[in-house]
Amino acid sequence: MKDVNEAFRQFLKQKNLQLTMQRQLIVDEFAKVKRHLSVEELYDLVKKREQSIGQVTVFRTLKLLAEANIARAVNFGDKTVRYELDFGTEHHDHLVCLQCGAVVEVFDPDLEKLQDKLCSKYGFSPDWHRLEIFGTCKKCK
């Protein structure tokens, strides 16, 4: 199975774009941190390794990653967009703790099946979906 770097390189090539030092660094950090990051959060991380990188470049690189289906934009409650890795990972839903902000990724095949069934009942062709459950996590109880 190819890794994120390889997939990104391939995507760039196909688009006649270049893999620059900046992009490489941003993707590295993004793939390493297994959390849902806003542009600003990722920018802060990247900046620790390379002062000179601008926030705009992080923004643009995340857009590229989303276009390449390597990242996916998500948003919980607040108004800022976050990105999560969407490569080599199965589709999943989110349990968001309203107390501590922790986000757990979960998956249930039966749930997926039921959703498909619901769609077909309405003659609807699902493309993708998102399910977020907000509440209190184990620790916070």
Q: Does 40 bind DNA (CB under 7 A)?
A: yes
Q: Does 52 bind DNA (CB under 7 A)?
A: yes
Q: Residue 19 or 103: which CB sits closer to its own copies?
A: 103
What is the DSSP code string of 46-59? HHHH-TT--HHHHH
Instruction: Please enumerate in sequence order all residues whose Cβ is within 8 A of that of 129, keeping only pairs 6 or more positions apart, or say none.
Output: 115
DSSP secondary structure letter of residue 140: T
Q: Residue numbers of the site for its own copies (CB under 8 A)? A: 75, 79, 81, 93, 95, 97-98, 104, 106, 108, 110-111, 114-115, 118-119, 122-138, 141
Query: Residue 115, SS3?
Result: helix
Q: For residue 82, with 0-12 CB atoms within 10 Å meaning exposed, 13-18 middle and 19 or more buried, which class applies?
A: buried
**Pick from 5, 9, 28, 57: which binds DNA (CB under 7 A)?**
57
Interacting partner of 21 out of its own copies, DNA, none (Cβ under 5 to 8 A depending on kind): DNA
Residues that bind DNA (CB under 7 A): 12, 16-18, 20-23, 38-40, 52-57, 59-61, 63, 79-81
